[in-house]
Amino acid sequence: MLQITNLHAQIQDNEILKGLNLSVQAGEVHAIMGPNGSGKSTLANVLAGQEEYRVTAGSVHFKGTDLLQLSVSERACEGVFVAFQYPIEVPGVSNVQFLKTALNSQRKYRQLDELDAIDFLQLLKSKVQEVGMEEQLLYRSVNEGFSGGEKKRNEILQMLVLEPNLAILDETDSGLDIDALKMVAQGVNAFRNTGVGKERAIILVTHYQRLLNYIKPDFVHVLFDGRIVRSGGPELALQLEEKGYTGVIAEEAAGS
């Protein structure tokens, strides 16, 4: 589904990604872990199409299409979703209208009928329950005045409503208390499990192993200095927890 080859990217002339390779197939959950400054968020932002990040070499193919040639909006409509680390506040646009316009823009792109207000609200309310969000937040401006946890839940809600093929969760676990973390994980698992036959994949970008107790990945990758230096199964996350990034990275350097 996603094929990243030798990706180099920079922000303000600082090269952050230095030849990243990653391949994600439909149905898989990948966790990308790494220390601060290793390029985790840069990867998420490059995939979303943030204009401050400039790709200088390499390629990204999504469902066979050159993702880097698509606009931000086209990427979303093709089925790429990034849950941001710091969701943006949009004062004056109500959450419910935002979600409805987003969904209908995507449906229009895919030549599906747009949902009317009644069908949409019905869909939305069922999803709101899954993430345990207070319904009144739907009628407030997007993320405005939301707590950190509410913003993250709102990102997961958007994911459940928009049903992307590929969801990239950028440190969605950071800043969450344990109950909120469980709730978010439950939302992600619901998304994963209802995806049977629907071509879904998830990339979890995270610092901590904690989230992986609740969402079991198929693959774990260690990102360091703009490259994936080690890949493995869920056991790799446990090793990281035990030895720390430095330990695992040093091991890798010694072994190679």
Partner 1 sequence: MNACERFINDYKQSRKQLPGQALPWLAAMRESAMASFSAQGLPDAKNESWKYTSLTQIEQTDYRLAQRLPKETIERLAEPIKRRFNNAPCLVFLNGYYEASLSTCGALPKGIILSSISEALQEHPQLVASELGKVANLQAHPFSALNTALLCDGVFLWAAENSSMEQPIHCLFISRAGEQPVLSSPRLLLVLKENAQLTLLEHYIDIGRLKAGIAKNTHSQANYNLLNTVTEISLSSAANLNHYKLQYEADNSAHIAAMYVQQQGASRFTSHSYSLGAALARHDIQVKLSERQSECCLNGLYLVNGSQHVDYHTQITHLAPACQSQQLYKGVIQDRAHAVFNGEVIIDPVAQQSAARQLNKNLLLGEQGEVDTKPELQIYADDVICSHGATVGQLDRQALFYLQSRGFSEQDAQAWLVYAFISELLERIDSRALRKLIEQPLIANLQQLVGGESDLQQLLPSENGDLPCP
d(CA 118, CA 88): 27
Q: Of 5 and 94, which has the nearer Cβ to partner 1?
A: 94
> Which residues 110-169 are close enough to bind partner 1 by CB under 8 A?
117, 121, 138-139, 141, 158, 162
* Phi, psi angle pair for 115, to nearest 5°: -85, 140
For residue 74, give both structure tokens: 């086209």
Q: Of 74 and 225, which has the nearer Cβ to partner 1?
A: 74
* Cα dihedral sign, 187-125-76-17: negative
Q: Of 81 and 219, which has the nearer Cβ to partner 1?
A: 81
Q: Of 21 and 104, which has the nearer Cβ to partner 1?
A: 104
Q: Of 51 and 235, which has the nearer Cβ to partner 1?
A: 51
Residue with tokens 């197939």: 25
CB 1 within 8 A of CB 201: yes
Q: Which of 109, 179, 233, 253 binds partner 1 (CB under 8 A)?
A: 109
Element (H, E) at 250: helix 235-255
Give the x/- contact pattern for partner 1 in 58-97, rule: CB under 8 A. Answer: -------------xxx-xxx----x-x--xxxxxxxx-xx
* DSSP bridge partners of 167: 81, 202
Closest approach, Cβ 74 to partner 1, in A, equals 9
CB 90 within 8 A of CB 167: no
Q: How many residues does the chain have?
A: 256
Closest approach, Cβ 125 to partner 1, in A, equals 11
Q: Of 105 and 186, which has the nearer Cβ to partner 1?
A: 105
CB 40 within 8 A of CB 250: no
Give the x/- contact pattern for partner 1 in 1-30, rule: CB under 8 A. Answer: ------------------------------
CB 56 within 8 A of CB 10: yes
Q: Which of 68, 70, 102, 190 binds partner 1 (CB under 8 A)?
A: 102
d(CA 223, CA 166): 20
d(CA 148, CA 177): 10
Q: Which of 2, 16, 29, 48 binds partner 1 (CB under 8 A)?
A: 48
Instruction: Check residue 142 and report its DSSP letter.
Output: E
Closest approach, Cβ 161 to partner 1, in A, equals 10
Q: Of 100 and 192, which has the nearer Cβ to partner 1?
A: 100
Residues forming contacts to partner 1 in the complex (CB under 8 A) are 48-51, 71-73, 75-77, 82, 84, 87-94, 96-98, 101-106, 109, 117, 121, 138-139, 141, 158, 162
